[in-house]
Structure 1
Amino acid sequence: MGPGPATYRTARAGKGGLPPGPRLPRAAQTLLFRTVGHRLTPRLRGRYGDMVRLRLFPEGAVVQLTDAEHIRAVLNGPDTVYHGGEGNAIVEPVLGARSVMLADELDHRRARRLLTPAFRAAALDGYRGMVARLTAEELDRWPAGVPFRAHDRMNRLTLEVVLRVVFGVTRGARLDRLRTLLRAFVDVRPVDFLGWHLPALQRVGRWRRKLAQQRELDALIHEVIRERRDAGEAGAGGTDVLSRLLGSSDEDGGLSDAELRDQLVSLLLAGHETTATALAWSLHELAWSAPLQARAARAAATGDDAFLEAVVKESLRLHPVIAEIARRVTEDVELGEYRIPAGTTVMPMIGQVHLDARYHQAPRVFDPGRFLEGPPPRETWLPFGGGARYCLGAGFALMESAVVLREVLTRFRLEPGRAGREEERARHVVLVPGHGAVVRALPRTGDPHGEAVS
């Protein structure tokens, strides 16, 4: 059963203060959280309970949440009280202040209104053939029978997909440079977070190089925007996201160049490595389970996308790409027995909720079947966030993943490429397979329903 009802409540006198937490210096807590937070959080929960206080840079006071009732109260609370944009402020130097991920209240609602048409079901259907073609081209390059890092291959594929979806272009020097810059751009280490928020560091070493990459990327994107605007109606008549955004407006007018830049960068980054990581984990889990892989191969052969989506959803449950959601509270609120003061960041901890036996039976077992019985309560399965900030691209990510799995499983049988299952490793704000999800792909032969041998 899911959690019981929960509602937003302002704080009343007499409630307790912040929950308990470690007493380590802020710098030490920040370092541990950024590098091994996925291992630290369960230990903190075991010691302090479902609510744990941390002190992090640059967020300040942070309260981790692992109880679904508390999480429901946060995600369904008013957006005037729980600011998701402020909660994501750590990525503002990269995404830009006008990004839908950084906006709050009226600005956030407007950004979603303008972006939503590009991700409706009718728009998604138009992308299926393109995703299948790009996947087939990628699979032609896979080394048969030789171990390789599936995460690297999926990153390359999903980057190509998102570039086509966002810009609509297929080739050219500018697209080649965008590929190169985006690959470098997402190669972020925990130490890079310091440079984002300490300008003095941006004059030296790695931080200086990262800033130069970002400026070149911005310049390229602005070039594309200017060219499309100069083309007038012809530049806004395509089916790619940029064309749709150039042709959209509301009572406040259309998006400015600066707003377009921030939305496009957000879509490029959010729609790239997150999907690639979910796919890499899916391939990893299928490689380690012959029975599940056989069932998935039958689903691929018979067009059963529901099961293929269930594989991806279960991968996202067992291996969430993002470890937490963040909301900055704008006024004092009650959560459980505690009074959370204004200015605190509350964090629903995705991985902990996904592995909680209160909400998921046999939570450490990879079982896509649990998603064929109907969706779990939103606050117990959180890979795409929740509430008013539920990810706009969730439908696209699941569609893309199902298409990719279908193409892979109709062509190859997968085996583990190294000894031992892989564990998560922190890579900037995402968790990735520690060794890149190493698999072997063997050409599939046999009957058309997936009962194949190599």
Structure 2
Amino acid sequence: MTTLDNAAGLEDADGLADVADLTRSRFRTAAPSAGGALPRIPRDQLPPGPRWPALVQTIALMRLRHWFHPWLQRRYGDVYTVHLIPQSRPLVMVTRPEHTKEVFSGDPEQFHAGKGNAILGPIMGQHSLLLQDSIDHKRARKLLMPPFNGAALREYEQMISDLARAEVDRWSDGDTFRSLDRMNAVTLEVILQVVFGVSDEQRLAALRPRVNATVDISPTVLLGWGYPFLQRFGVWKRTVDNQYELDRLMYAEIRERREAPDLAERGDVLSRLIRVGQEAAAEGRPEDALSDVELRDQLVTLLLAGHETTATALAWTLHELGRHPELHARSVAAARRDGVDAAEGDAWLDAVLKEALRLHPVIPMVVRTLQAPATIAGYDLPAGTTVGPSIVVTHQRSELYPDPEVFRPDRFLGQNPPPNTWIPFGGGARRCIGAGFSLMEGVAVLREVLTRFDVEAVGEDEPKVRNITSVPRRGARIRVRARA
């Protein structure tokens, strides 16, 4: 019997008896309130903002972000403050690229991203790249880089194309469906097979519902991490129980993979990370090997950062192409490489994806917490203030993107946008390590879809908030027609 087969029972002979303790410890040490009370910052030291109770502002920021961000900018100007639970913590938002540059170029020792992402701690874990700062972040980023370099991305591309083709094979002429659901199915398989390296169907069947339950949670659950007593009740308890089950499966997979006889030949991200650690240990650098807990935290980070975000970008892309026949025809030609070479075709599909990410941002903001006083956008902000650019507002500024409400991929064709104006992956030293992977994956999936099917949008759609991301409220419904 394999380790994973035993994962359902903690008391076993394969070393999983400690997993419940590891999960319990993470909930205790990575909770947003674990850092203790912060000094209160007087409002007169901060940019203007609403004076509503912190709970009301938090709910508005998380549930109504697509209305709240633009309203704040119209009401208070290009720099504004909201106060969030717990402890009425101030969040200063900037919306102009020159101010965004001040945040992204700030000294990483003073501009901590990890503390600003603390609400994700109980799920991702304290070793997550998104939650680490200073020397710990530098170490983790260096160790995670090899599986995301250019050579590795080229190796993943064929695996992703095969998974996308398997999904498209299930479609029939005239089918109408929520493209978000189908794209989520594809990107989930990419995470499980290309990142986690799981291919056995029994194991995939065990992981899929646990992963989906981790991703598909409401902002209410995230808010609950600030109040640990809630974890004994209702939706919060179900989320906690799911985490215990997912951890059992993931730790079993990690521990078994370390002993896999074919580890050297495997091309998935987890196997590559384990090999990097083994090579470092063999060279006398054991500190450069990721522990089981570190691997678990980084894999969950890649899951949350790369699964639903990429799926959402793809769903919006297909819906927009289905609304614009000219752009659709051009994208089909690019996918089929009719009259263009492979590089030109992929460049157009890449531009289409980037425009979808601009017009429909999946993440609303990028944040840093000041460890020392700093001047941002002309304001002298005290230590303890969290500051960051609003992606929602930045991507809609008409001086940066003329006719910002129009879907226009040519904005990104053959040119990069001006610095700090297109920021779906953040920026500076903390720019998302998986940005290249996400765009490569998106292009590969679009190529498979558009080679086989024409796409027609069914109805209109608008964003809604799900966990920390924004997704199409009606799932970006499309109708597909088989191409001759």
Q: TM-score, normalised by structure 1?
A: 0.92
Q: Does 1:222 align with 2:251?
A: yes
CA distance in 2, matches of 1:169, 1:181: 14
**263, 271, 292: which one pairs with 2:327?**
292
CA distance in 2, matches of 1:320, 1:151: 15
Q: Which digits, 9 at most, give the CA deviation of each residue in 1:134-181, with x for residues without a partner?
A: 111111222431321000000011000111112222123222111111
CA offset at residue 236 of structure 1? Answer: 5.3
CA offset at residue 185 of structure 1? Answer: 1.3
Matched to 1:274, the amino acid is T
SS of 1:211's partner is helix
Q: Which digits, 9 at most, give the CA deviation of each residue in 1:1-39, with x for residues without a partner?
A: xxxxxxxxxxxxxxx721000011111111111100121
For 1:203, the equivalent position in structure 2 comes to 232
CA distance in 2, matches of 1:336, 1:209: 42
CA offset at residue 308 of structure 1? Answer: 0.4
Q: Contact 2:93 / 2:388 at 8 angstroms: preserved in 1?
A: yes
For 1:355, the equivalent position in structure 2 comes to 396
For 1:138, the equivalent position in structure 2 comes to 167
CA distance in 1, matches of 2:350, 2:436: 10
For 1:371, the equivalent position in structure 2 comes to 412
CA distance in 1, matches of 2:196, 2:218: 28
SS of 1:355's partner is coil
For 1:411, the equivalent position in structure 2 comes to 452
CA offset at residue 234 of structure 1? Answer: 4.1
Q: Does 1:305 align with 2:346?
A: yes
**364, 371, 386: which one pairs with 1:323?**
364
CA offset at residue 57 of structure 1? Answer: 1.6
**421, 426, 431: which one pairs with 2:470?**
431
For 2:309, the equivalent position in structure 1 comes to 274
For 1:34, the equivalent position in structure 2 comes to 62
Instruction: Name the stretch that deviates more: 130-139 or 191-200.
Output: 191-200
For 2:100, the equivalent position in structure 1 comes to 71
Q: Contact 1:149 / 1:436 at 8 angstroms: preserved in 2?
A: yes
**245, 249, 268: which one pairs with 2:273?**
245
For 2:207, the equivalent position in structure 1 comes to 178
Q: Does 1:105 align with 2:102?
A: no
CA distance in 1, matches of 2:332, 2:394: 30
For 2:49, the equivalent position in structure 1 comes to 21
For 2:483, the equivalent position in structure 1 comes to 444
CA distance in 2, matches of 1:439, 1:308: 18
CA distance in 1, matches of 2:375, 2:451: 52
For 2:20, the equivalent position in structure 1 comes to none
Q: Contact 2:69 / 2:392 at 8 angstroms: preserved in 1?
A: no
Matched to 2:117, the amino acid is N
CA offset at residue 225 of structure 1? Answer: 1.2
CA distance in 2, matches of 1:32, 1:168: 39
Q: Contact 1:148 / 1:439 at 8 angstroms: preserved in 2?
A: yes
**385, 389, 396: which one pairs with 1:344?**
385
CA distance in 1, matches of 2:265, 2:143: 16
Matched to 2:408, the amino acid is D
**Deviating 4+ runs (over 6 angstroms):** none
Q: Contact 1:236 / 1:246 at 8 angstroms: preserved in 2?
A: no
- Structure 2 segments unaligned to the other structure (5+ residues): 1-43
CA distance in 2, matches of 1:143, 1:330: 55
For 2:222, the equivalent position in structure 1 comes to 193
SS of 2:225's partner is helix
Q: Contact 2:95 / 2:393 at 8 angstroms: preserved in 1?
A: yes
CA distance in 2, matches of 1:80, 1:443: 54
**Cα gap change, 1:226/1:373 in structure 2, threshold over 3 Å: closer, same or farther?**
closer
**234, 247, 264: which one pairs with 2:299?**
264
CA distance in 1, matches of 2:212, 2:172: 22
Q: Which digits, 9 at most, give the CA deviation of each residue in 1:399-453, with x for residues without a partner?
A: 11111111111111111222xx2111111111111110001001112xxxxxxxx
Q: Which digits, 9 at most, give the CA deviation of each residue in 1:256-304, with x for residues without a partner?
A: 1111110111112211100000000000100000000000111111131
Q: TM-score, normalised by structure 2?
A: 0.86
Matched to 1:68, the amino acid is P
CA distance in 1, matches of 2:387, 2:52: 19
Q: Does 1:254 align with 2:289?
A: yes
Instruction: Name the stretch that deviates more: 355-364 or 27-36.
Output: 355-364
Q: Contact 2:172 / 2:482 at 8 angstroms: preserved in 1?
A: no
SS of 2:132's partner is coil
Q: Contact 1:21 / 1:44 at 8 angstroms: preserved in 2?
A: yes
Q: Contact 1:329 / 1:344 at 8 angstroms: preserved in 2?
A: yes
CA distance in 2, matches of 1:124, 1:48: 43
**103, 117, 126: which one pairs with 1:88?**
117
SS of 1:425's partner is strand
For 2:71, the equivalent position in structure 1 comes to 43
For 2:5, the equivalent position in structure 1 comes to none
Q: Contact 1:278 / 1:312 at 8 angstroms: preserved in 2?
A: yes
For 1:448, the equivalent position in structure 2 comes to none
Matched to 1:384, the amino acid is F
Q: Contact 2:334 / 2:348 at 8 angstroms: preserved in 1?
A: yes
Q: Contact 1:228 / 1:236 at 8 angstroms: preserved in 2?
A: no
For 2:30, the equivalent position in structure 1 comes to none
